[in-house]
Amino acid sequence: MRAVDHDYDVQTRVTGLDELRVRRPGEACLVVIHAPVQADLGRRYVLDKSETTVGRGRDNDIVLPSDCVSRRHARLEQRGGNLFVVDLVSTNGTYINDDVHTVRERQLQRGDRLKIGDTIFKYLSGSDIELQYHEIIHRMAVTDGLTDLANRKRLDSLLEEEIPRARRHGRELSVLMLDIDHFKSVNDTHGHLTGDSVLRGLAGILQRRLRPSDRLGRYGGEEFCVILPETSLHNAAKIGEELRSLVEAHAFVAEDKNIRVTISVGVGSLQESMSLADLYKTADEMLYKAKRTGRNKVCH
């Protein structure tokens, strides 16, 4: 299976969406059609290895972090051009379509539904129209339409993955919250469409400076969020400062007008026993400190 979460291409860097890479016709895929986390709907796993494991344990190819999934639950095997599913004596079983009994080992046919815990996959090939449909739905669900960045829902699910990963490996993890200063006056002076164009331009500036492993998203309105894996508070503040000065130096061009904006940045770093909400809150409090104390600055 292609490791969708660590394999970045140009499109990934623009959208922050790993799964939306170019498909090869005939390529076997599992597509999530039912999941406990809404943002996972339509997610595609390409089965390009001879064996693909599915389970709750982080060392599986497809990780389903749910209590009703066994640590090592099932294995998908490519044999002579056919795909087989093997249940690894899981506690709650592996089901195909409407079967009421768990499978032990069975060949999958295109279009079959595979139920593992509370996730249902559909087995499709790269050329299936249905796969394309699921991809479009998925893209719409996790992308911000104006900037093409990850939306808030996607940022949440990325952080939900990054927080346990950072804890497991004893690595640092930081978050930047960025907000355009006095953006209301950009809209009021130049109009909403120009405001939209500034938001798109800003997304491009931030994205170009960040590394492929950093995750940029639009948190809402004129507020953006950057997830910085393996980054200390100190280094995150330096990156925030670089972004701030890049934006300050940039002239956005819309309808022959040069528009200048600045951003305020709040930095938060993962501390022991912090939840996702705590991490956002810390960065948000720092952002409001930056706003309160003069704007166009980074606080941490």
Count residues binding ligand GTP (CB under 6 A). Answer: 16
Q: Residue 221, interface with ligand GTP (CB under 6 A)?
A: yes
125-134 contact pairs (CB < 8 A, 24+): 125/25, 125/26, 125/27, 125/28, 125/29, 126/23, 126/24, 126/25, 126/26, 126/27, 126/28, 126/29, 127/23, 127/25, 127/26, 131/23, 131/29, 131/31, 131/44, 134/31, 134/33, 134/42, 134/44
Interacting positions 68-87 with ligand GTP (CB under 6 A): none
In the set 3, 89, 140, 146, which binds ligand GTP (CB under 6 A)? 146
What element of type H or E holds 265?
Answer: strand 263-269
3-state secondary structure of 102: coil
In the complex, what is the shortest distance from the CB of residue 201 to ligand GTP, in angstroms, rounded to a whole number?
Answer: 12
In the complex, what is the shortest distance from the CB of residue 287 to ligand GTP, in angstroms, rounded to a whole number?
Answer: 9
- Which residue, 119 or 147, is less far from ligand GTP as judged by CB? 147
In the complex, what is the shortest distance from the CB of residue 9 to ligand GTP, in angstroms, rounded to a whole number?
Answer: 27
From the list 244, 28, 37, 252, the residue with the least C-alpha distance to 141 is 37
- Which residue, 53 or 197, is less far from ligand GTP as judged by CB? 197
Report how far residue 216's alpha carbon sits from residue 195's, in angstroms, rounded to the nearest whole number. 19
Report how far residue 251's alpha carbon sits from residue 247's, in angstroms, rounded to the nearest whole number. 8
Binding mask of the shown chain, residues 167 to 206, with x at each position contacting ligand GTP by CB under 6 A: ------------xxxxxx--x----x--xx--x-------
Active site residue 222: yes
Report how far residue 158's alpha carbon sits from residue 215's, in angstroms, rounded to the nearest whole number. 8
Q: Which residue of the set 51, 222, 223, 242 is catalytic?
A: 222
- Which residue, 95 or 183, is less far from ligand GTP as judged by CB? 183
In the complex, what is the shortest distance from the CB of residue 155 to ligand GTP, in angstroms, rounded to a whole number?
Answer: 16
- Return residues touching ligand GTP (CB under 6 A): 146, 179-184, 187, 192, 195-196, 199, 221-222, 291, 295
Active site residues: 222
